[in-house]
Chains A and B, each alone.
Chain A
C-alpha cells in the first residue's frame, strides 16, 4: 500500500498526465470504471478498445467536459484537472481533436488557425486583437505542416474530410499544447491520407506528448507507439502493439464475442 502511494506521488510529479481511479456513470451505466493510467512527457500513446470501452468519455474527463464521479486527473504533476473547465484546461496546454472533425466551417482555413493561436483569450483582448508578423509567420508555418497552404483562403466547410482532420490537428498545433488528445484522426480517410496523417502525428510527437485513440490497427502500427487497451471503462492491457495483440484477454474481448 505504501509503495503504491509512493509510486503514485512519484508518477504525479514526473508524468504529463496521470489518471487515478476515475469512474463516471450515466444513469447507472458505468462509462469509466476505476480507470488509471499514466502518460510520460514526450510520449506518444495509442489507446484502442471496442465501442463503448470509454475512450471518448476518458477524453471528456481529461478535458474537463465531464466531471468524474470519483478519482483524480493530474496534469504536469500537480494540476488537478477535475477542478477546472474546458477553456482553462485548454489554456493549460491540452489540445483535443474530436472524433468527428470539428472545425469552424463558415470561416476560412486561415481564420480557423488564427482563432486557435496560443495567447491571452479574454474577451477584451480578443476584441482588439490584431495579428503581428510573428503570428502570421507561425500560421504560415502550420499551414505548411498540415499541407493546406494552398487552401488558406477557402472556407473550412469546403474542405475534404481528410483535410478537415488535418486542419483540426493544425488548430491543435496553433495552441502549442504540451499534450495532444487525438480522437480517431484517420476515420474516413483514404489510405494515402492515413499514411500522411501517421507521418504528421509522428512529426508532432517529436515535440509534444500525444494520446491517440484509434480503431485502425494498421494506423496504430504505423504510429510505432506504446498501446493501452481499454475495456468496459478500465485498462485491459498495456504495452507494445505486438504484446497487446497476443494478450489472451484482448483477443477474447475483440474476437470472442
Chain B
C-alpha cells in the first residue's frame, strides 16, 4: 500500500510539474473498475490517477459522485444525465455521446469507503489549482489532513498563486503543518509553529501534542530540543485555550438550539394550556400532524413539481399551520368546548384523543418512519473557524423559533383577534356581553395554538423521526417548559425553554445525557417549590381566583 501511494504521488508530481499528458491508456485502466472485487477497483483507481490523462480527474470525480455507470450491453463506462425519456449517456473516456437509454440498462459502479477516501485525496491534490475556490479550499484541507511530504513544493506554488484570502489561509495552515512535520531545519519548524499556534483546530492540537509527546520522550535532550519542546508546549497551551473558548461558544449554541426546539414544541401549548387552561395532552399529536403535513407536501412536490422540491419545506409551513389549526378547531368545537372550567377533564379527553390521532395516522400512513428530506440549503455547516462549525439546520430552527414567537406576539398584541382573545380569557361573561362571539374566539384560539404546534412539526421533521410517536416524545418536555416559565406567559415560555436548553447542554459533558435530563427535572421540581407559579408568575390577588 505504502509503495503504491508513493508511486501515484510521484506520478502526480510529475503531472503537476509538467502539466503534460501522459500516454497510459486510460480506457484500459478504467476497465478494472468493472470488477466486483474492491481490491481490483482500487488498483484500477490508482492506475487511473497515475495515468496522467487529463480526463482522469473527471473520471474520478464521476466515480466519487456516483455518476459512473457501466452499460449492461457493452460494458462501457459512461456518465449519465436525466432527460425526459430516460438517461443521456456519454462515454467517460472519450466523451462520446451514446444516446438515450433506460435506467435498467445501466449498472452503477459502486465504491466503498476506502476508495472514497483514496479518491478524495487524489482528487484533492489534483484540484489545488482548480478554478473553483471551494474546490481549492477542499484540496488544501485534504492535504492538511493527509500531510504528504511531497506536497510541500506544489502547495507552496499554489499558495503563491492564490488570490482568495480564505483559501490562502487554509493553504498556509496546511503548509505550516507540512513544514512542522517534515521540516528539515529547526528554523522551518519554528516558523511553522508560529502559524500553527494561531489555529483553533483539534487536528492542530493533536499534531502539536504528538510532537510534544515525542520531544518529551527524548532521553537527555539537548538545550535546543528543550527550548523547542517548551515552545511547542506553549503553542499547545495557546491552541488549547482557544479550543476551550470555542467549546463554550459551541455549548451555548447547542443549548440555544435545544432551547429553540423546546420552545417550538412548547409554544403552541403555551396557548392551548397557558392561555386557555386546557391540559392539552393531544398537543404532541398536533406537532405530529404538522410533521406529516410536511411529508405530504413534499411527496406532492416530488410527484407533481419536482423542480419546486427545494421549496417544499417553506410551502409546508403554512400548510401545516392550516391543517393542524383546522384539526384544533374541530377538536375544540366537538369536545373541548363542553369542558371549559373543568381543566382536569380536558386532560382525560385530550389523552383519549391523542390515542385516537396516533392510531389514525398509523392507519393512514403506516407505522414506519416517513422520509422528509432536507433541502440543500439546510444541510451542511457554517464554518466559523477551524474548531467551530454551526449546522445550518440548527441555525434555521433557531431563526424559525424566533420568527414564530415574534409572529405570535404580534397576533396577540396587535390584532383585534388578539384583543378579543385576551378579553375572553380574562372575563368571558363581560366579553360576551360586549358582543364578542366567545365561542368563535375559543375555537380560533385553540386553532391558533394547534396551528403553531403544527408549524413546530415542520421544524421537528428536520431533526427527528416522522412517526406516529413523534408527539409523545415532546409532550412531557413541553409541559415542563410551560410550567417552568409560568403558565400564560409567552416570555416565560421563551426564557424557560432557552434556560432549560442551555443548562442541559452545559451539564451534558459532565454528567452524560441521561443524568443531565434527570438533573433538569429535579431542578424544575425544586424550582416550583420556590416559585409555585413558575418563572414569570403574576403576583397578587387576581391570580388566586
A contacts B directly (C-beta below 8 A): yes
B541 at the interface (CB under 8 A from A): yes
Chain B residues contacting A128 (CB-CB under 8 Å) are: none
Distance (whole angstroms) from the CB of A69 to the closest CB of chain B: 12
B541–A57 CB distance below 8 A: yes
Chain B residues contacting A252 (CB-CB under 8 Å) are: none
Chain A residues contacting B540 (CB-CB under 8 Å) are: 26-27, 29, 31
A27–B538 CB distance below 8 A: yes
Encode contact with A along B489-501: 1 for CB under 8 Å, 0 otherwise. Answer: 0000000000000
In the complex, chain B residues 498-545 whose Cβ is within 8 Å of any chain A Cβ? 538-541
Complex Cα gap A137–B539 (Å): 44
In the complex, chain A residues 111-168 whose Cβ is within 8 Å of any chain B Cβ? none
Number of A-B contacts defined by CB within 8 Å: 12
Chain B residues contacting A26 (CB-CB under 8 Å) are: 539-541
Encode contact with B along A36-65: 1 for CB under 8 Å, 0 otherwise. Answer: 000000000000000000001100100000
A27–B541 CB distance below 8 A: no
B541–A56 CB distance below 8 A: yes
Distance (whole angstroms) from the CB of B95 to the closest CB of chain A: 77
Complex Cα gap A57–B544 (Å): 13
Q: Which residue of chain A lies nearest to B545 when distances are taken between CB atoms in the complex?
A: A100
- Which interface residue of B538, B539, B540 has the most chain A CB atoms within 10 A? B540
Complex Cα gap A134–B538 (Å): 47
Distance (whole angstroms) from the CB of A230 to the closest CB of chain B: 15
Chain B residues contacting A29 (CB-CB under 8 Å) are: 540
- How many chain B residues sit at the interface, stated as a range, is under 10
Distance (whole angstroms) from the CB of A95 to the closest CB of chain B: 20
Chain A residues contacting B541 (CB-CB under 8 Å) are: 26, 31, 56-57, 60
Interface residues of chain A: helix, strand, loop or mixed (majority): mixed
Chain A residues contacting B538 (CB-CB under 8 Å) are: 27
Chain B residues contacting A60 (CB-CB under 8 Å) are: 541
Distance (whole angstroms) from the CB of A233 to the closest CB of chain B: 13
Complex Cα gap A57–B540 (Å): 9
In the complex, chain A residues 146-202 whose Cβ is within 8 Å of any chain B Cβ? none
Chain A residues contacting B539 (CB-CB under 8 Å) are: 26-27
Complex Cα gap A56–B539 (Å): 15
Q: Which residue of chain A lies nearest to B542 when distances are taken between CB atoms in the complex?
A: A26
Distance (whole angstroms) from the CB of A212 to the closest CB of chain B: 20
Encode contact with B along A55-93: 1 for CB under 8 Å, 0 otherwise. Answer: 011001000000000000000000000000000000000
Distance (whole angstroms) from the CB of B267 to the closest CB of chain A: 24
Distance (whole angstroms) from the CB of B199 to the closest CB of chain A: 52
Complex Cα gap A31–B541 (Å): 10
Distance (whole angstroms) from the CB of A98 to the closest CB of chain B: 11
Chain B residues contacting A27 (CB-CB under 8 Å) are: 538-540
Complex Cα gap A29–B539 (Å): 10
Chain B residues contacting A31 (CB-CB under 8 Å) are: 540-541
Complex Cα gap A63–B149 (Å): 85
Distance (whole angstroms) from the CB of B484 to the closest CB of chain A: 20
Q: Which residue of chain A lies nearest to B544 when distances are taken between CB atoms in the complex?
A: A65
Complex Cα gap A206–B366 (Å): 78
Distance (whole angstroms) from the CB of B313 to the closest CB of chain A: 42
Complex Cα gap A27–B538 (Å): 8
Encode contact with B along A15-45: 1 for CB under 8 Å, 0 otherwise. Answer: 0000000000011010100000000000000
Distance (whole angstroms) from the CB of A246 to the closest CB of chain B: 32
Complex Cα gap A27–B540 (Å): 8
Encode contact with A along B368-406: 1 for CB under 8 Å, 0 otherwise. Answer: 000000000000000000000000000000000000000
Complex Cα gap A26–B538 (Å): 9
Distance (whole angstroms) from the CB of A240 to the closest CB of chain B: 31
Distance (whole angstroms) from the CB of B535 to the closest CB of chain A: 14
- Which interface residue of A26, A27, A56, A60 has the most chain B CB atoms within 10 A? A26
Complex Cα gap A26–B540 (Å): 5
Distance (whole angstroms) from the CB of B363 to the closest CB of chain A: 43
Q: Which residue of chain B lies nearest to A66 when distances are taken between CB atoms in the complex?
A: B541
Complex Cα gap A138–B541 (Å): 35
Complex Cα gap A217–B372 (Å): 72
12 sample A-B contacts, Cβ–Cβ < 8 Å, listed by A number: A26-B539, A26-B540, A26-B541, A27-B538, A27-B539, A27-B540, A29-B540, A31-B540, A31-B541, A56-B541, A57-B541, A60-B541
B contact residues vs A (CB 8 Å cutoff): 538-541
Other A-B contacts than A26-B540, A27-B538, A29-B540, 6 sampled, CB-CB below 8 A, are A26-B539, A26-B541, A27-B539, A31-B540, A56-B541, A60-B541
> Closest 3 CB pairs between A and B?
A26-B540, A26-B539, A27-B539
